[in-house]
Chains A and B, each alone.
Chain A
Amino acid sequence: MEESDPDNLVDETRREDESAEQETESTEKRRSGGDPIEAAADGGVPEQKPDGVADEIENQFENIKETRRQRAFGWAALIGVIGFLTYQGLSATEFFDDDTDFTWGHFSTRMTEYFPTTRVADLGAISSLDGYYIWAIDGGAYWSFIKDMNLIYDPEVGSLIFQFPINLTDLYAFVFVELGIFSIFGEAGTTLAMGLVGTVLGFPLALLFSILATERVLPFPFNFIFRAIMSFIRAIPAIIWALIFVALVGLGATAATLAIGFNTIGNLGRLFVEDLEELEDGPIEAMETTGANKSQIVFFGMLSQVRTSFIAWTLYIFEINVRAAVTVGVIGAGGLGAIVAAQQSQLNYEEMMATLFVIFILILLVELFSQRLRARLRSDEERRSWQELIFGFPARMADSLRR
């Protein structure tokens, strides 16, 4: 960019020379030669312009060129600074240390460990390409690990319901004794339950704190106490809270779930406060004039205005909490995260990747569910009843196929 500057200067001087020359020539010749379109529009008869105009254009041209030059210099300087900082950062993150060895051989070996391959077809058998095969990622290897470790299905719990003929005692035991709604999904079920319970535990306190954090409910210095508490909770990541809870209740999914619930107070509470700040006065005043007491004003005047968006935010936080449940599990606190960590410590790369796929599917499903539900909440259309949703399905399906 800086290189172009001398060129520009040369360009500029040449242009000045040209214009000086041209000023001696007749105006007509310059205009028709320099600007064919304008000349055509004028019908080939250019009109006389005051002499000052050319100078003004020249001045503006210079101005623009100067600002462009300054801007280019600014960008170049910025890129230089960022580059230098990145270089320092790479050093700080040990990119240049001898311990960090990167070779393509090492890299590709590891990649084949992550993604085990298998021969799916022998090209030698069907053609002259002897000794050549078609390779594919070995899904079977992943699947056997997923099955052995009960990542998505626990056969012990599952055997209670999947039997023929259906045994009502076992079915009862499944729901009310084994409490197997989540544990039937194995480790994925544990992770999902961690996210759900964390959200449910955190919600009431998030609601309470956010209400107390609004100035309408508590006067100025006091509402900030609750804002500060929520900020503090938010400032520390869930995984650190989990470490603290592990010391209190022992290593396991309980500590992780408590940590997620605690973190929810900070995150969800913050989103609630944001909504409560933008309430309309009208409904609150209306409740005041009916003689409602303070808690009734909060519920009917304030919360009624934000009910839909609160539900939507809670679903969003649930989505985030399931993801957090994976992260928090990595310290050994149960679910899919703990499996990833355990396999990593044993350098079982193939098994790690298998768990990762399960995590991917789980998060995808949770997001799909949460986003569909939120979109439904936000849309103003008449909600379908559950019966209509189920029994109307064939008709809707046919309708969408016809389009």
Chain B
Amino acid sequence: MSKIVVDGLRKTYGDTVALENLSFEVEPGEFVIILGVSGSGKSTLLRCMCGLNEPTEGEIRINGKPMTAPRPEVAMIFQQHNIIGDMSAYSNALTGGINRTGLLSSIFQLQSKEEKRRALAALDTVGLLDEAEQKTRRMSGGQQQRVGIARALVQESEVLLADEPVASLDPGSAQDVMRYLQRASDERNLSTFISLHQVNIARKFGERFIGLHNGKKVFDGYREDLTVDAIDKIYGDIDTDGMFVNQESDSDSQPPTDQQQEATL
């Protein structure tokens, strides 16, 4: 399992500073939620971590090797899921293991039996085994995001990154997706980073939290440290009292829905 070190990270786009002097370390298997408003640098951090963007200064070391280009041991889940709508959930999941197969065998799906079982197991983890042969274009937003998670799992990575995975989902599907992410991370003992802007969802699922504000780290701690003051620091001028209170009543008073029960099975 891999240890992640972010060391003096700075990223600029032209004159805009997206991230400044960001450093933290994460132990293998930790479940980390990155909090911040839009434009606080969450996406930039994750894109640097998976190698899509290169840091302007400083570096990110995963397994001791700096990330300069995408590597198979780091998997990414996108807000817009970026799965292939014309292909079935199963075919999409298979593309996660693409780095282990050649071009022709990936096109004609001539992967090994082991590889195919792995794809089905990943779909099982996200509760889509029965929908394996369904075209993803016809699926709901939540289901599509779960296909995205399955693809990331098939990659057999050690680190799982998710950039706003529930931002475009309704509250019910958002909780589902978070639950499946948590389950996948636990089952496979993956170091997981999820960026979120909703405090209530973050508090419900997170263990460790890193708060960003204007590209700077303003919070790094565990659930018990995430006080109202800390949240105010992350969210700046935005009034977060309401969110904070809602979260408590939300998760306690509402009876679990069918979907939630199914997910916990």
Q: Which residue of B lies closest to A293 (CB)?
A: B103
Interface membership of B192, Cβ < 8 A:
no
Selected from A285, A290, A293, A299, the residue in CB contact (under 8 A) with B96 is A290
- The digit string for A306-337, where 1 denotes a CB below 8 A from any CB of B, is 01100000000000000000000000000000
Residues of B within 8 A of A291 (CB): 70-72, 98-99, 155
Contact size range, A: 20 to 34
Selected from B75, B84, B98, B137, the residue in CB contact (under 8 A) with A296 is B98
A272-294 contacts to B (CB < 8 Å): 282-283, 285-293
Q: How far is the CA of A289 from the CA of B46 in the complex (A)?
A: 12
Interface membership of A295, Cβ < 8 A:
yes
Q: How far is the CA of A285 from the CA of B47 in the complex (A)?
A: 10
Interface membership of A304, Cβ < 8 A:
yes
Cβ of B106 and Cβ of A296 under 8 Å apart?
Answer: yes
Residues of B within 8 A of A299 (CB): 103, 106-107
Q: How far is the CA of A285 from the CA of B50 in the complex (A)?
A: 10
Interface membership of B110, Cβ < 8 A:
no
Interface membership of B80, Cβ < 8 A:
yes
Which of B95, B107, B151 lies at the interface centre, i.e. has the most chain A CB atoms within 10 A of its CB?
B95
Q: Which residue of B lies closest to A305 (CB)?
A: B84
Residues of B within 8 A of A289 (CB): 50-52, 70, 74-76
Task: Tell me how far the C-beta of B222 lies from the nearest C-beta in chain A, rounded to whole angstroms.
Answer: 28
Cβ of B52 and Cβ of A290 under 8 Å apart?
Answer: no
Q: How far is the CA of A172 from the CA of B114 in the complex (A)?
A: 43
Cβ of A290 and Cβ of B103 under 8 Å apart?
Answer: no
Task: Tell me how far the C-beta of B141 lies from the nearest C-beta in chain A, rounded to whole angstroms.
Answer: 14
Interface membership of A393, Cβ < 8 A:
no
Cβ of B82 and Cβ of A285 under 8 Å apart?
Answer: yes
Residues of B within 8 A of A282 (CB): 78, 80, 82
Cβ of A290 and Cβ of B151 under 8 Å apart?
Answer: yes
Interface membership of B87, Cβ < 8 A:
yes
B residues whose Cβ falls under 8 Å from a Cβ of A: 50-52, 70-72, 74-76, 78, 80, 82-84, 86-87, 95-99, 103, 106-107, 137, 148, 151, 155
Task: Tell me how far the C-beta of A40 lies from the nearest C-beta in chain B, rounded to whole angstroms.
Answer: 58
Cβ of A283 and Cβ of B86 under 8 Å apart?
Answer: no
Q: Which 10 A-B pairs have the closest CB atoms?
A: A291-B99, A291-B72, A286-B82, A282-B82, A289-B76, A292-B98, A304-B84, A295-B103, A289-B70, A288-B70
Cβ of A290 and Cβ of B84 under 8 Å apart?
Answer: no
Q: List 18 A-B contacts (CB under 8 A).
A: A286-B76, A286-B83, A286-B148, A286-B151, A287-B95, A288-B52, A289-B50, A289-B74, A290-B75, A291-B70, A291-B98, A293-B99, A296-B103, A296-B106, A299-B107, A300-B84, A300-B98, A304-B84
- Given A286-B151, A308-B86, 10 new contacts (CB under 8 A): A283-B83, A283-B84, A286-B76, A287-B95, A288-B52, A289-B70, A290-B95, A290-B99, A299-B106, A299-B107
Q: How far is the CA of A256 from the CA of B52 in the complex (A)?
A: 49
Q: How far is the CA of A299 from the CA of B94 in the complex (A)?
A: 14
Q: How far is the CA of A282 from the CA of B87 in the complex (A)?
A: 16
Q: How far is the CA of A290 from the CA of B51 in the complex (A)?
A: 11
Q: How far is the CA of A293 from the CA of B76 in the complex (A)?
A: 17
Q: How far is the CA of A283 from the CA of B86 in the complex (A)?
A: 12
Cβ of B95 and Cβ of A300 under 8 Å apart?
Answer: yes
Q: How far is the CA of A293 from the CA of B70 in the complex (A)?
A: 11
A346-403 contacts to B (CB < 8 Å): 380
Q: How far is the CA of A305 from the CA of B82 in the complex (A)?
A: 10
- Known contacts A282-B80, A299-B107: does B99 contact A292 (CB below 8 Å)? yes
Q: How far is the CA of A293 from the CA of B137 in the complex (A)?
A: 25
Cβ of A307 and Cβ of B103 under 8 Å apart?
Answer: no
Q: Which residue of B lies closest to A306 (CB)?
A: B86
Residues of A within 8 A of B151 (CB): 286, 290
Residues of B within 8 A of A307 (CB): 86
- Known contacts A289-B50, A290-B72, A300-B106: does B82 contact A283 (CB below 8 Å)? yes
Cβ of A304 and Cβ of B98 under 8 Å apart?
Answer: no
Residues of A within 8 A of B96 (CB): 290
Residues of A within 8 A of B70 (CB): 288-291
Q: How far is the CA of A69 from the CA of B99 in the complex (A)?
A: 71
Cβ of A290 and Cβ of B78 under 8 Å apart?
Answer: no
Residues of A within 8 A of B51 (CB): 289
Residues of B within 8 A of A296 (CB): 98, 103, 106
Q: Which residue of B lies closest to A304 (CB)?
A: B84
Residues of B within 8 A of A293 (CB): 99, 103
Q: How far is the CA of A380 from the CA of B80 in the complex (A)?
A: 20
Selected from A286, A304, A380, the residue in CB contact (under 8 A) with B78 is A286
Which of A285, A287, A300, A307 lies at the interface centre, i.e. has the most chain B CB atoms within 10 A of its CB?
A300
Which of A290, A292, A296, A307 lies at the interface centre, i.e. has the most chain B CB atoms within 10 A of its CB?
A290
Residues of B within 8 A of A304 (CB): 84, 86-87
A125-177 contacts to B (CB < 8 Å): none
Q: How far is the CA of A299 from the CA of B102 in the complex (A)?
A: 12
Q: How far is the CA of A300 from the CA of B91 in the complex (A)?
A: 11
Q: How far is the CA of A24 from the CA of B151 in the complex (A)?
A: 88
Which of A288, A289, A380 lies at the interface centre, i.e. has the most chain B CB atoms within 10 A of its CB?
A289
